[in-house]
């Protein structure tokens, strides 16, 4: 059976790049339709993530110009992960298979052909994996690699060098709907759904226009979110660390006792200060880690909606 494909594209302040990349997505849909790999009902679904520039106007214009383009708009900026989720949830009842991809042209859209081949062979999830990062700046490359190492070291299983370029079948998405958490880290959550999966390599190029919306600050926040959403390993690490510090303290106590018995009790001001500062710092870090989880629990218990769609291009057509 020929599947219906929805390409889900989050867009935040992307008015410079959208006019360049939108035709690339459309051409891909048309090429795949003509090859008989997807149905004529396939669409490019843009998700406007509360952009402050003309992005939504551009999306509306595209939707008027070609029926393969459709768009939804979030009521405000909620971040990349929520935008992708909104698009996937919107798409899942209308299609058989979705591909999520960034709108800046960095991820090679031609990899979709191979993703669809893998889907035809029975894979329900196909992860796009970057084969090279040569075009990224040294800084971006090393921070991104550090990001994956940090995640796996902290017990959050993610596919190495995979961002949010992936094919997911609507069957997997329907199961994924049951994952109700508000702290989203899609690339770590999708593998938890299971089903047969594979990876497809592609070369990542430079952004075609505009600027990255992921500065270092957001990358760090995503890394912390990823770890605390997926794993409790940091909590175990601080327990282990506490045991080590307690053992060292025991040696310190012995030393203090022996020094006192030798009659040198007044000495040791420097060591005392160091220990107090060190242990105080360690305790604050541990409290911070626990606090991070408490904050997560707080947000989860509120059960706020994960996205709110304020506009759709197709409602206006009615
Ligand atoms: N994005 C979004 N909401 C945000 C930030 C980013 O929807 O708050 C989208 C953005 O439009 C792009 C994708 O997420 O399609 C990835 O962002 P970007 O290319 O800036 O990140 P980078 O590739 O530099 O990591
Ligand atoms: Mg990008």
Digit-coded pLDDT (tens) for 165-200: 999 999 999 999 999 998 888 988 899 898 999 999
Per-residue confidence band for 115, with pLDDT thresholds at 50, 70 and 90: very high
Q: Hey, what long-range contacts does 253-258 have (CB within 8 A, 24 or more apart)?
A: none
- What tokens does 200 get? 């497809």
Taking the C-alpha atoms of residue 256 and residue 273, their distance in angstroms, rounded to an integer, is 14
Nearest atom in ligand 1 to 103's CA:
15
Describe the strand order of the beta sheet including 162-169 as a list of residue ranges. 197-202, 125-130, 162-169, 97-100, 5-11, 43-48, 69-74, 309-312
Q: Which range, 142-146, 157-161, 170-174, 275-279, has the best average confidence (pLDDT)?
A: 170-174
Give per-residue pLDDT as tens, 9-32.
Answer: 999 999 989 999 999 999 999 999
Taking the C-alpha atoms of residue 114 and residue 69, their distance in angstroms, rounded to an integer, is 22
Closest CA to 97 of 67, 71, 117, 119: 119
Closest CA to 195 of 128, 148, 127, 129: 127
Expressed in angstroms and rounded, the spacing between residue 10 Cα and the centre of ligand 1 is 7
Closest CA to 102 of 84, 89, 79: 84
Ligand 1 contact via 12 beta carbon (within 6 Å):
yes
Q: Which residues contact 282 (CB under 8 A, 6 or more apart)?
A: 241, 245
Cβ atoms of 187 and 164 within 8 Å: the answer is: yes
- Ligand nearest to the CA of residue 15, numbered in listed order: 1
Expressed in angstroms and rounded, the spacing between residue 246 Cα and the centre of ligand 2 is 46
Ligand 1 contact via 107 beta carbon (within 6 Å):
no
Which residue's structure tokens are 């710092």? 281
Q: Where are the alpha helices (DSSP H) in the chain?
A: 18-34, 55-65, 80-91, 111-120, 138-153, 170-176, 186-193, 216-230, 233-261, 269-302
Give per-residue pLDDT as tens, 237-294.
Answer: 888 888 888 888 888 888 888 888 888 777 677 778 878 878 888 888 888 888 888 9
Q: What residue owns the CA closest to ligand 1's atom 17?
A: 213
Ligand 1 binding pocket mutation candidate from 80, 81, 103 (most atoms within 8 A of CB): 80
Ligand 1 contact via 106 beta carbon (within 6 Å):
yes
Average pLDDT over the chain reads 88
Element of type H or E holding 107: none
Ligand 1 contact via 212 beta carbon (within 6 Å):
yes
Expressed in angstroms and rounded, the spacing between residue 165 Cα and the centre of ligand 1 is 12
pLDDT of residue 134: 67
Which residue's structure tokens are 């939108």? 22
Ligand 1 contact via 79 beta carbon (within 6 Å):
yes
Q: What residue owns the CA closest to ligand 1's atom 25?
A: 214
- What is the pTM for the complete model shown? 0.82
Taking the C-alpha atoms of residue 223 and residue 54, their distance in angstroms, rounded to an integer, is 30
Q: Which residues contact 16 (CB under 8 A, 6 or more apart)?
A: 209, 210
- What tokens does 160 get? 């190495």
Expressed in angstroms and rounded, the spacing between residue 212 Cα and the centre of ligand 1 is 7
Taking the C-alpha atoms of residue 287 and residue 292, their distance in angstroms, rounded to an integer, is 9
Expressed in angstroms and rounded, the spacing between residue 293 Cα and the centre of ligand 1 is 26
Ligand 1 contact via 10 beta carbon (within 6 Å):
yes
Give per-residue pLDDT as tens, 198-239.
Answer: 999 998 877 777 787 777 788 788 888 888 888 888 888 888
Ligand 1 contact via 213 beta carbon (within 6 Å):
yes
- What tokens does 198 get? 């594979």
pLDDT over 60 at 79, yes or no: yes
Average pLDDT, integer, range 50-76: 93
Ligand 1 contact via 77 beta carbon (within 6 Å):
yes
Percent of the chain, pLDDT > 90? 47
pLDDT over 80 at 136, yes or no: no
């Amino acid at each position: 059976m020929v599947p219906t494909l929805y390409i889900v594209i989050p867009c935040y302040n992307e008015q410079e790049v959208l006019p360049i990349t939108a035709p690339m997505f459309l051409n891909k849909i048309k090429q795949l339709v003509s090859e008989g790999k997807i149905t004529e009902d396939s669409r490019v679904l843009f998700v406007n993530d509360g952009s402050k520039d003309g992005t939504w106007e551009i999306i509306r214009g595209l939707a008027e110009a070609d029926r393969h383009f459709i768009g939804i708009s979030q009521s405000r900026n909620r971040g990349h992960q929520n935008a992708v989720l909104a698009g996937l949830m919107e798409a899942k009842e209308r299609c058989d298979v979705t591909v999520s991809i960034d709108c800046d042209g960095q991820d090679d859209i031609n990899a979709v052909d191979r993703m669809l081949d893998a889907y035809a062979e029975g894979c329900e999830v196909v992860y796009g994996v970057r084969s090279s990062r040569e075009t990224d700046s040294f800084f971006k490359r090393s921070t991104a690699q550090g990001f994956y190492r940090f995640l796996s070291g902290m017990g959050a299983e993610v596919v190495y060098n995979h961002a949010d370029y992936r094919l997911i079948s609507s069957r997997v998405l329907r199961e994924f709907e049951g994952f109700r958490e508000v702290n989203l880290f899609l690339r770590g959550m999708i593998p938890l759904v299971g089903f047969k999966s594979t990876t497809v390599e592609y070369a990542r190029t430079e952004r075609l226009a505009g600027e990255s919306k992921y500065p270092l600050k957001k990358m760090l926040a995503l890394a912390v979110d990823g770890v605390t959403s997926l794993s409790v390993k940091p909590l175990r690490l601080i327990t282990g660390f506490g045991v080590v510090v307690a053992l060292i303290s025991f040696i310190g106590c012995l030393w203090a006792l022996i020094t006192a018995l030798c009659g040198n009790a007044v000495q040791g001001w420097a060591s005392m200060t160091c220990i107090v500062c060190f242990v105080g710092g360690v305790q604050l870090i541990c409290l911070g880690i626990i606090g991070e989880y408490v904050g997560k629990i707080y947000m989860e218990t509120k059960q706020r909606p994960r996205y709110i769609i304020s506009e759709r291009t197709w409602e206006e057509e009615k």
